[in-house]
C-alpha cells in the first residue's frame, strides 16, 4: 500500500513524513545503500521511522498538533486555537508560532525540514537492520562508585541515564529546537568523598 504522506494539513490518514521519492533524492548524495532496497522495503522503513519519531518524542515535541484528528505529531503550532485563527486569515501575535534554532517561524501548515531529515535518517537505519529497541535505550544507574588515587567518587542518579547509540543521538541533534529535551535525558546528583 502506498505511503500517505503528511502534507501540512493534518491528515487523519497520514502514515509518513516523507515519500520514497523524497528519501531517494535525499540519499542520492548521502548513501548508496538506500538505492539497494526495494520500494516495499523503503516504504516499510519510512513508515517505521515516522512511527518511531512520533512514539519516541511523544510528550517532548514543542507546541500542539494543529488538528485534533491528525494522525501524526506534525504539523504543530505553539498555542491551542492559533491554527483556527490562522486558517481564517486572522493572524494573532507571533506568539503562536514555533521557531527553529535560527529563529525563523515554523508555519503551522508544514512539517519542518528537520523532522523530514530525522525521518529519513531513521528510515535508512531501519532498512539496514538497526535494532531500535537496543540502540535507543536508556539504563537506570542508581549508584556508581570509583576511586582515583586518594579520592573516591560516588554518583547517585535520580533517573535513567541515556546510553543511546551515536546514530540515534545524531537524530536527536537534528531535532534540537523542536523538542523540549532528548528522550532519556536526566539530571544526576553526585557526591564527592575525600579519603
Distance in angstroms (rounded) separating the CA atoms of residues 34 and 37:
6
**Residue 55 confidence class, pLDDT cut points 50, 70, 90:** very high
The candidate with the shortest Cα–Cα distance to 164, out of 195, 132, 137, is 137
Query: In this structure, are residues 48 and 126 in contact, taking their beta carbons and an 8 Å threshold?
Result: yes
Q: What is the pLDDT of residue 187?
A: 43
HSE, CB side, 13 Å, CA atoms: give it for residue 2.
6
Query: In this structure, are residues 75 and 111 in contact, taking their beta carbons and an 8 Å threshold?
Result: yes
Beta bridge partners of 65: 76
In percent, how much of the chain has pLDDT > 90? 48
Give yes or no for residue 190 having a pLDDT over 60: no
The pTM of this model reads 0.76
In tens, the pLDDT along 68-101 reads 899 999 999 886 555 555 555 555 544 567 888 8
**Residue 7 confidence class, pLDDT cut points 50, 70, 90:** very high
Amino acid at each position: 500500500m502506498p505511503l500517505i504522506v503528511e502534507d501540512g494539513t493534518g491528515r487523519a490518514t497520514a502514515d509518513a513524513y516523507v515519500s520514497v521519492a523524497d528519501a531517494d533524492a535525499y540519499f542520492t548524495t548521502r548513501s548508496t545503500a538506500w538505492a539497494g532496497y526495494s520500494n516495499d522495503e523503503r516504504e516499510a522503513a519510512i513508515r517505521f521511522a515516522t512511527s518511531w519519531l512520533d512514539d519516541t518524542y511523544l510528550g517532548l515535541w514543542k507546541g500542539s498538533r494543529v488538528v485534533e484528528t491528525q494522525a501524526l505529531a506534525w504539523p504543530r503550532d505553539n498555542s491551542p486555537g492559533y491554527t483556527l485563527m490562522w486558517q481564517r486569515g486572522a493572524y494573532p501575535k507571533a506568539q503562536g508560532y514555533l521557531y527553529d534554532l535560527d529563529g525563523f517561524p515554523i508555519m503551522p501548515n508544514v512539517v519542518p525540514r528537520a523532522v523530514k531529515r530525522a525521518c529519513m535518517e531513521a528510515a535508512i537505519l531501519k532498512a539496514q537492520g538497526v535494532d531500535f529497541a537496543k540502540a535507543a535505550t536508556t539504563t537506570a544507574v542508581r549508584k556508581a562508585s570509583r576511586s582515583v588515587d586518594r579520592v573516591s567518587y560516588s554518583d547517585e542518579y535520580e533517573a535513567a541515564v541515556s546510553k543511546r547509540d551515536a546514530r540515534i543521538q545524531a537524530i536527536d541533534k537534528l531535532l534540537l529546537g523542536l523538542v523540549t529535551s532528548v528522550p532519556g535525558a536526566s539530571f544526576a546528583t553526585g557526591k564527592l568523598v575525600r579519603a
